[in-house]
Amino acid sequence: MDTKNFFLMDIVDKIDGANMPLLKQNIEELSDEEMQSLMCISFKNPVVGLLFGFFMGIFGFDRFYKGDMILGVAKIILFVLCVVLFVSGIVILATSGFRDEEQAIALLVCLGLAFLASLIWWFVDLFMVYFGIKKDNFIKIMEAIRVLKS
């Protein structure tokens, strides 16, 4: 099996299938030495990103794996906000003897909204990270091919 077909088989699950014809066309133009260089590049696995997102996405692990550090930190901040609002609501209810119910209810409503936003972001990110990793891998390959050709 030649290196070009081996490379294509190796990355078929790491890029979007719609980009495969363009990738094949560009790889056909590469020499064996250039192919060896291309095969040394490591790619992120979108399934690993999906698993990180499913199990630890609420903490931003999926975004950190993808390389989106700012969004990963933002997800952590949103999670911490949910915890702080929850604890604050419990403390207010416990210390006030249920006299400040309006303030506690307002905190719990904010908690609910923050938690809902966090869940929606978690669900949307399952798809965004999975397909984003595939797109990033494709861009990485095409950029490497461009550099090898020049």
The fraction of the chain above a pLDDT of 70, given in percent, is 96
CB within 8 A of 141, min separation 6: which ones?
A: 11, 15, 23, 38, 41, 43
pLDDT tens-digit map of 88-112: 877 777 787 666 677 767 777 888 8
pLDDT tens-digit map of 72-83: 999 999 889 888
pTM: predicted TM-score of the whole model, two decimal places: 0.86
Record the tokens describing residue 1, joined without a space.
Answer: 């099996």
- Residue whose token pair is 């299938």: 17
pLDDT for the residue 97? 65
pLDDT for the residue 83? 86
pLDDT tens-digit map of 52-73: 999 999 999 999 999 999 999 9
Tell me the CB-side half-sphere exposure of residue 106, using CA atoms within 13 A: 5
pLDDT tens-digit map of 18-28: 999 999 999 98
Alpha-carbon distance of 133 to 122, in angstroms, equals 16
DSSP codes, 33-49: HHHHHHHT-----HHHH
Record the tokens describing residue 13, joined without a space.
Answer: 């699950």
Alpha-carbon distance of 141 to 16, in angstroms, equals 12
In eight-state DSSP terms, residue 100 is -
- Residue whose token pair is 């906000």: 81
